Amino acid sequence: MAYQRVQIDSESETTTEQLFRAPELLDLFSDFPISEKMDIFSLGCILYHCLFFKSAFDSDLKLDQMNARYTLPT
């Protein structure tokens, strides 16, 4: 299991941007199931970025991204 965590972490570091990464990939020790739902979360982050020209989450607040806390601009 530890080898899988390292492998998934290194693959996600090279293939995804942290601001578009799903919470399951940010906290691999919580053992959330990794499925196609991560793609939908990332798509939502990309659409948010396209609509509002900024990221849904601050780059330094990883906890907000893990808890999926965001605000819609007015």
- For 15-70, the pLDDT digits (tens) are 888 788 888 888 888 878 888 988 898 899 899 999 999 888 876 667 777 777 77
Please identify which residue in the block is written with the tokens 């601009």.
73
Instruction: Compute the distance between CA of residue 9 and CA of residue 17 in angstroms, rounded to an integer.
Output: 12
Is residue 9 domain-resident? yes
**pTM for this prediction:** 0.74
Is residue 45, in this structure, part of any structural domain at all?
yes
Tell me, yes or no, whether 13 lies in a domain: yes
- Residue 21 domain-assigned (yes or no): yes
* Alpha-carbon separation of residue 39 from 24, 36, 42, 45 (angstroms): 11, 5, 5, 10
Residue 37 placed within a domain = yes
pLDDT value, residue 25: 83
The verdict on residue 71 lying in a domain is no
Total structural domains within the chain: 1
Tell me which residue has tokens 């601050």: 58
Per the CB < 8 A criterion, the answer to whether 32 and 24 are in contact is: yes
74 belongs to a structural domain = no
Residue 39: per-residue pLDDT? 87
Q: Dig out the tokens for 13 from the structure.
A: 């570091």
